[in-house]
């Protein structure tokens, strides 16, 4: 088993590096920065799917299903709403701004609407924090599962993942992110389908859906729904992929169709969580997916499951790393590609150290979810052609305050989405002084 694991893993990692090397041989500045802005709909679909399902999701989705039961399927309903909203309503507006303003970051879209630099900086800070949190979640999640089986210790798994992402991002930038996501999307979907079938394929779905879990109050349920529905509007990767698409039609097609494999993968993960709920009691939510593999996956499939986790780490990590690095580098006038490479190196060192020192994936994923809901209401205001920077700024700051209040009074629970979302909306109504001519 060990020999086959290293063979599969070695082939997979080598393929990523070879693909990135080939891309890097003939590429222009725009290839590195935004994948030439000529990605087709199916490339948008593959990249959005691969970046949208990281290793951290394997742990958090199964953990939430184990803890809350069938009610966690509110996430799926929210995801459908969110992707359709983004694809058919937000993408055309984002693409129009990209053409007129040559946008690279989420903040560039905000600047095109408000013409205010502080609004742009504030939007980029929040969106960078969101992506940084999810990057850490992915690194911790993948490392935990791999180490759980004793095939590679946690620290080694985290460091190896960071090193491979570093190598191919330094070579080919954002174009490597998009192209390697095609390979990784196929691997993730295929292997997770096989793993789910092997673990829960013979189980009666009615029994799973009726499994008794802990109490799911309305706050948590609404938190799941809000996160699924609106989190896309604060995600750098959604905006960058919209900018990178060939045209508006291809962007809409890619984002709208990406929801199909994402929903299926989330459904697989939730099924595994519910399956474990019916079979094993008293598990730590961080360990649900690992225990499912350890107890119910045939040993012959374990090497493939480990490759699945590395794919999950890489597919989201490269997108998140590039998103953070490029957003910081865009604030400098010269040497953007060089700066992206330097920031990528420093960022991966920081994330690897953070993941090693603070390996609590579920708590960090809840914080990431809260951060995700600071920007959506202010962004919706701009998408409705709002232009007042003070409204946007007060909405963002109020959302952050709402998140802090939620964490203080509710603890680290998905219900913190409610005060975050509510306060962001209230912030838009902050009194605005009229200018006196």
Cα 351 from Cα 338, distance rounded (Å): 20
User: Do residues 315 and 54 touch, judged by C-beta distance below 8 A?
Assistant: yes
Cα 309 from Cα 284, distance rounded (Å): 19
Query: What would the DSSP string read from start to end of 147-173?
Result: HHTTSS-HHHHHHHHHHHHHHHHHHHH
pLDDT digits (tens, 9 = 90+) for 382-398: 999 888 999 999 999 99
pLDDT confidence of residue 436: 45
Strand partners of residue 245: 39
pTM for this one?
0.81
pLDDT confidence of residue 437: 44
Low-confidence stretches of the chain (pLDDT < 70) are: 1-5, 24-38, 54-56, 98-101, 149, 151, 168, 171-173, 176, 214-217, 309, 361-362, 431-437
Cα 181 from Cα 185, distance rounded (Å): 6
pLDDT digits (tens, 9 = 90+) for 163-202: 877 876 776 567 767 777 777 788 888 888 998 999 988 8
pLDDT confidence of residue 27: 63
Cα 156 from Cα 143, distance rounded (Å): 8
User: Do residues 65 and 362 touch, judged by C-beta distance below 8 A?
Assistant: no
Find all residues with CB under 8 Å of 110, minimum gap 6, and list them: 119, 120, 123, 379, 382, 392
3-class DSSP state for residue 245? strand
| C-alpha to C-alpha distances, 2 to 14, 98, 300, nearest whole angstrom | 18, 48, 10
Cα 160 from Cα 166, distance rounded (Å): 10
Burial of 408 (0-12, 13-18, 19+ CB in 10 A): exposed
User: Do residues 72 and 224 touch, judged by C-beta distance below 8 A?
Assistant: yes
Kindly state the tokens that stand for 370.
């809260």
What domains, with CATH codes, occur in the chain? 33-364 (1.20.1730.10)
Cα 189 from Cα 260, distance rounded (Å): 11
pLDDT confidence of residue 393: 95
């Amino acid at each position: 088993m060990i020999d086959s694991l290293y063979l599969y893993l070695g082939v997979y990692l080598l393929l990523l590096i070879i693909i990135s090397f080939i891309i890097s041989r003939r590429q222009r500045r725009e290839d590195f920065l935004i994948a030439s802005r000529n990605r087709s709909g199916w490339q948008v679909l593959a990249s959005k799917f691969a970046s949208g399902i990281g290793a951290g999701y394997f742990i958090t989705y199964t953990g939430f299903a184990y803890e809350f039961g069938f009610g966690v399927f509110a996430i799926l309903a929210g995801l459908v709403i969110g992707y359709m909203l983004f694809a058919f309503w937000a993408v055309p507006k984002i693409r129009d701004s990209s053409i007129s303003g040559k946008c690279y970051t989420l903040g560039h879209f905000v600047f095109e609407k408000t013409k205010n630099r502080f609004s742009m900086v504030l939007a980029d800070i929040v969106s960078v924090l969101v992506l940084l949190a999810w990057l850490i979640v992915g690194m911790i999640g993948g490392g935990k599962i791999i180490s759980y089986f004793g095939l590679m210790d946690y620290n080694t798994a985290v460091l190896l993942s960071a090193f491979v992402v570093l190598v191919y991002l330094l070579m080919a930038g954002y174009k490597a992110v998009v192209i390697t996501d095609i390979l990784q999307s196929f691997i993730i979907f295929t292997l997770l389908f096989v793993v789910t079938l092997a673990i829960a394929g013979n189980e009666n779905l009615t029994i799973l859906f009726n499994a008794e879990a802990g109490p799911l109050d309305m706050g948590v349920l609404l938190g799941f729904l809000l996160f699924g529905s609106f989190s896309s509007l604060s995600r750098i990767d959604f905006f960058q992929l919209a900018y990178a698409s060939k045209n508006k039609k291809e962007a809409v097609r890619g984002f709208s169709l990406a929801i199909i494999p994402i929903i299926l993968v989330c459904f697989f993960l939730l099924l595994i969580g519910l399956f474990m709920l019916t079979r094993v009691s008293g598990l730590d939510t961080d360990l649900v997916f690992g225990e499912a593999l350890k107890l119910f996956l045939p040993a012959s499939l374990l090497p493939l499951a480990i490759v699945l986790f590395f794919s999950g780490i890489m597919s989201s990590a490269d997108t998140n790393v590039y998103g953070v690095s490029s957003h910081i580098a865009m604030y400098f006038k010269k040497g953007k590609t060089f700066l992206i490479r330097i920031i990528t190196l420093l960022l991966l060192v920081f994330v690897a150290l953070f993941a090693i020192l603070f390996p609590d994936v579920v708590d960090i994923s809840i914080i990431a979810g809260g951060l995700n809901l600071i920007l959506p209401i202010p962004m919706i205001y701009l998408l409705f052609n709002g232009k007042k920077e003070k409204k946007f700024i007060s909405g963002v700051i109020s959302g952050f305050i709402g998140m802090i209040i939620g964490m203080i009074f509710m603890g680290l629970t998905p219900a913190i989405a409610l005060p975050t979302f509510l306060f962001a909306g209230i912030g838009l109504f902050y009194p605005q002084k009229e200018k006196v001519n």
